[in-house]
Chains A and B, each alone.
Chain A
Amino acid sequence: MKNVSLKIEGMTCASCALNIEKALAKVEGIKTSTVNFATESGTFEVSDNLNAEVIISSIEKQGYSAFEGEGPSDNTSSAELVRPIVSMLLALVVFYLAMGPGKNQFTKQVNWYLQLVLITPVFFWIGHRFQKAIWIFLRTGISTMNTLVGFGTAAAYYYSLFITVAPEKAVKLGMNMHVYYEAVGFIISFVFLGKFFEEKAKKKARKELDNLLRVSTKSAWVKRGDEFQEVPLEDVVKGDVIRVRPGEKIPVDGKILEGESEIDESMLSGEPLPVLKGKDAQVFAGTINGYSVITFKAQKVGSDTMLAGIIKFVETAQQNKAPIQLLADKISSYFVPVVLVIAVLTFFGWYFFGPEPLWGNALSSMIAVLVIACPCALGLATPTAVVVATGVASKRGLLIGGGEIIEKGDGVNTIIFDKTGTLTFGKPFVKHVNLFSEKSNERDFLQEVSSIESFSEHPLSRAILEYAKEKGVKPGFPESFEVVSGKGIKAKLNGLEYFIGSSRFLNENNIVCSYETDQSGSQVFVAREGELLGLIIVDDKVKEQARPTINKLKEDFVTPWLISGDNTKTVSAVAQELGIPEYVGNCLPIDKASYVERLKSEGKKVAMIGDGINDAPALAKADLSIAMGTGTDVAMDASDVVIIDGDISKVDDFIRLSRKTMSIIKQNLFLSFVYNTLLIPVAAGAFYPLFNWTFPPVLASVAMGLSSISVVTNSLRINGFFNGTRRS
């Protein structure tokens, strides 16, 4: 199996996307297809031997066009504007002749012929796609919004044509002697104008992603032999030595060999302040070098870079359909045939029961029904909101895995935090040193302990070594040392036997260790020759943003939980400091996962936030999983949302953004239903018997255009969501 991505053009609404998916489901070798109307693209899971050409030709058979890669999609907006402007101008002239001052300038017959000449190019040339849609419908039974417009305008055009060319016959048939050329012109103009604005809004929504794509550079200065040469980005390989001058973009991910510079990483983290980076620091593709030259070694190139990962994530996210959108798609696909039936019923209703002129009223009401019912707004309701929301989020360093995730985020009412690395920095430091023997001093004690600890890679040992270094202690080395996994170290130094580790480890080695402390943190006991020498307490700092984030979540009616593998004393101290009422300590990775399941079985919608491999099982079990981008790849792979820079406050941003987006989607669905559904009976003339209301076809096309524009504009409101909420 492989994935093929294509750009698809010619889709006018969500039913088009659905039609393509349906048609491709029948093609052998195509396993799944996801077509996105808003991004005008599709991804297809196909068998390895299937050529992309097969998919393209199947799509073209449905009346759309498809391209590999970018395709000719980026035609300028001025070209898109030509058709609506031309058709609008012609329609206005026709309007002048039909209803304006031009009405009496010629004989009726000449006037009608003039209108016919003016509107024919609009109908056949500009409105070509609508005629095509009728043929597709008649041949395949596939209906889209274009089918509705096609039937509406064709009915108006051919009726008028008949009256113009054969007026006597028309009179004999009892037809209403009125032409609808201006309706043809305006309907087509408004549909195109609506499309134009929609296109513009869609482009704006898509710009975020394009901006991300654009941050990557095309070439790099790479050391070849003894000098640096400019080579295309594709030729850069792992291990290359690359030089970046001030102000240039960093081409690939790597580690600094030489130089120190402030690097603008805002595209990754959303943080505006540049970060000072020197030797051995990690640099990432797409970030911008500050004031001085740096030389670095390429570690990840091409699709392995962090930037490529982010782009892929956002692209897939925008392809994934939210469940609420599937509903919209489904409604859309039933909608068109139902409307066609209603239109026919409307026609006969007016013809048999309506007032004179029978033909005229019947036809104009039918056209109004066909036009008002265009379901394009319905199809746009969810994708536009999802595209804008994921775009806004990625700009803020928050990667959201698609519409489905936003819908889940909206429902979350319980959030489980991991402690280390999530609420705390995950960088332990020595908080306290307690000596039990009056004979020893701290310096000697640290000298002995650090000599032994220097042979251990454990994070606690690192913290103790760091502390000893600060105190100016130079570690020596022991004669022997042995790691007892998960418990401690046994060592020999200057001929004396040492045990360093947990109280349990010391007790197991027959050293009495019953010291109680109420201080939080990990306790490291040190014993020499069977005698307890001292205690070192190592703790982790709580992140500054943790407390405000917990408070905000509570304000948003989300219950925070703290579940950690650390000892209960430390966990409870952190929980109290942050005001988290529910906490559990001493949890193994599997325990964390079973807590998630327990809370879920109590009917809670659970989000899990973690950063390490130990969190991966719980992340996978949770309704929604959020990973810290500063953590391990395993955790990120298992999660729905990634906070790139590990800023915990973005958890609440995500919850609020999800809620906002879902409410926008619901408003959108309502807006499009108001236009599409409620106005159908009005257009059909249901209120005529009561109030004498009729609905001219032109008004219907205005309403339809407005519905698309209002839905898209409503979605774009999400763009401003983070304005003014920026934290200092």
Chain B
Amino acid sequence: MSGIVFKVEGMKCGGCKSKIEGALKNMDSGIETLVNLEDKTVKVTFEDLSPLEIKKTIEEAGFNVTGMNAE
């Protein structure tokens, strides 16, 4: 299990939140996502995935990843 906090730009509301959560769930059902609209962060806990893949998935959902931080 590893956790990464991504800095994500372009999230506005609950709709954006569920869009990101849905996209990440699609990659792997075991993934855990915690979106914080106020901090503009997405915390992802996952196994057997590369952070790059996760970043790409968030970007493909229509958001801009400007940073990340491993916990």
A483 close to B (CB within 8 Å): yes
Stretch of B12-20, B29-37, B62-70 at the chain-chain interface: B62-70
Query: Could you tell me if A480 and B68 are in contact, using CB atoms closer than 8 angstroms?
Result: yes
A455 to B66, CA, bound (A): 9
Question: B68 to chain A: which residues have CB within 8 Å?
Answer: 455, 478, 480-482
Question: A479 to chain B: which residues have CB within 8 Å?
Answer: 69-70
Our pick among A477, A480, A485 for the contact of B69 (Cβ within 8 Å) is A480
Residue of B nearest to A483 (CB): B66
Query: Could you tell me if A480 and B67 are in contact, using CB atoms closer than 8 angstroms?
Result: yes
The bracket for how many chain B residues form the interface is: 10 to 19
Question: A492 to chain B: which residues have CB within 8 Å?
Answer: 69-70
Chain A: residues with Cβ within 8 Å of the partner, total of 12
Question: B55 to chain A: which residues have CB within 8 Å?
Answer: 455
Residue of A nearest to B7 (CB): A482
A167 CB to closest chain B CB, in angstroms?
Answer: 95
A520 close to B (CB within 8 Å): no
Query: Could you tell me if B50 and A477 are in contact, using CB atoms closer than 8 angstroms?
Result: yes
Question: B65 to chain A: which residues have CB within 8 Å?
Answer: 455
A375 to B52, CA, bound (A): 73
Residue of A nearest to B5 (CB): A480
Query: Could you tell me if A482 and B66 are in contact, using CB atoms closer than 8 angstroms?
Result: yes
Residue of B nearest to A489 (CB): B67
Contact with B along A447-477 (1 / 0, CB 8 A): 0000000110100000000000000000001
A12 to B50, CA, bound (A): 73
A135 to B50, CA, bound (A): 85
B32 CB to closest chain A CB, in angstroms?
Answer: 19
Q: Which of B13-71 contact A (CB under 8 A)?
A: 50-52, 55, 59, 65-70
Question: B67 to chain A: which residues have CB within 8 Å?
Answer: 480-483
Contacts known (A454-B52, A455-B52, A455-B55); A480 close to B66, Cβ less than 8 A: no
Question: A480 to chain B: which residues have CB within 8 Å?
Answer: 67-70
Question: B59 to chain A: which residues have CB within 8 Å?
Answer: 457
A478 to B55, CA, bound (A): 12
Question: B69 to chain A: which residues have CB within 8 Å?
Answer: 479-480, 492
Enumerate 26 A-B pairs (CB-CB under 8 Å) in ascending A order.
Answer: A454-B52, A455-B51, A455-B52, A455-B55, A455-B65, A457-B59, A477-B50, A477-B51, A477-B52, A478-B68, A478-B70, A479-B69, A479-B70, A480-B67, A480-B69, A480-B70, A481-B67, A482-B7, A482-B66, A482-B67, A482-B68, A483-B66, A483-B67, A485-B66, A492-B69, A492-B70
The 6 closest A-B pairs by CB, nearest first: A482-B67, A479-B70, A480-B69, A477-B51, A483-B66, A481-B68
